[in-house]
Amino acid sequence: MGWHPAADEELLLRITVKFATGVAPAVAGSRWFRDPQRNDIQHELEGWPTGPVFTPHTAGDQAARRTGRGLLGAVQVVANLVANIGGAVGSPFGSAAGDEKPDDPENEVEDFPVLWAAPGTLARTVPWQLDPGRQPDGYTTDLALTTRRLLFLGTRSDSPGEDDVLAEFPRGAVAGAEQKRFSKVRGDVCVSFSDQSWIRLFTGNANCAERIASALTGSRQLVPERALTAPQRERVTRFMASHADATQPPVFVKLPSGIVHAEAYVPSKAGKDLVNAVGILMDDAGEPAEPKPGDL
């Protein structure tokens, strides 16, 4: 059976995630699992199967990767122009880290930990299925946030109506989250726990990363579908009918003016594991609305 929130909670968002991957030359394609002394701890994580072992790239490797990204960037400039003509919302096109500068060079350029955890901390209990190097074929992992829990769910492609509850944490155990812009399509988000451990996840789109971060920091008001008016729910039903390929249920953001932004995510042709964000703005009557000053 598919997972559903319990009777005493409501779903705020569900977004497909996995451990992030480095984009800087020395760490491109790599990820590590660290304790605060920067020891590799993947062999210490209970129940984790054996996974790939990465080493930082040499100067020669880095030069080759920079050349490859330069050629790819030229192709993507043209793709960006095409996407902008269509007005694509949340288009994932762009170079590996766009024009962003690393906010945390120690953990984004020189090293790339995606799990940072002292012994006994919560990050050590996140599921191994989040790791692309260990994830079974045809398996996807989602982050689900409710009014009282953060959960990680797993789904097999051959059983799309069934979910595995891989791990769950009370909202009070989650300290916050931050979108990490120095990443592929600006799609990384770092989720931190109250014990100072953290994980870095890739979401497939900058909008997805921002939604998770804003929901966990309270900078945006996410509301459950139940909070919508009847006309708004009818409008959302029509909207979702035109996006039958949406990967997850829509996310609803109530803007300061009271306008609701409904956003869904659909597979992107730009690359594997990328999604496009599509959305509508509507007033209480479910009619199209323009954002007011302070909304965006």
- Per-residue pLDDT reduced to its tens digit, 262-296: 999 999 999 989 999 999 999 999 999 999 998 98
Give the pLDDT of residue 70. 47
Share of the chain above pLDDT 90, in %: 81
User: Are 115 and 33 within 8 A, CB to CB?
Assistant: yes
pLDDT at residue 57, as a whole number:
87
Examine the pLDDT at 92 and tell me if it is beyond 60.
Answer: no
Who has greater pLDDT, 87 or 158?
Answer: 158
pLDDT digits (tens, 9 = 90+) for 195-240: 999 999 999 999 999 999 999 999 999 999 999 999 999 999 999 9
SS3 string, 6-55, reads: CCCCCEEEEEECEECCCCCCCCCCCCEEECCCCCECHHHCCCCCCCCCCC
Where do the domains of the chain lie? 11-220
What is the value of pTM for the model shown? 0.87
Query: How confident is the model at residue 61, as a pLDDT?
Result: 56
Whether the CB-CB separation of 221 and 240 falls below 8 Å is answered with: no
Query: What are the backbone dihedrals phi and psi of residue 256, each rounded to the nearest 5 degrees, phi first?
Result: -55, -30
Residue 21 has pLDDT above 80, yes or no: yes
According to CATH, the topology of domain 11-220 is: PH-domain like (2.30.29)
For residues 57-85, average pLDDT? 44
Alpha-carbon distance of 76 to 86, in angstroms, equals: 15
Q: Amino acid identity, residue 288?
A: P
What is the residue type of 184?
K
- pLDDT for position 96: 61
Closest CA to 21 of 196, 214, 185: 185
pLDDT at 296: 81
The per-residue pLDDT for 105 is 95
Mean pLDDT of 96-115: 89
pLDDT band at 2 (very low <50, low <70, confident <90, very high): confident
* Opening angle at CA 206, ends 274 and 56, nearest 5: 75
Count other C-beta atoms under 10 Å from residue 174's C-beta: 17
DSSP string computed for 122-178? GGGGS-GGG-TTTPPTTEEEEEEEESSEEEEEEEETTEEEEEEEEEEEEGGGEEEEE
How many C-beta atoms lie closer than 10 Å to residue 138's C-beta?
Answer: 10
Q: ∠ CA 274-270-261 to the nearest 5 degrees? A: 55
pLDDT higher than threshold 90 for residue 79: no
d(CA 203, CA 116): 19
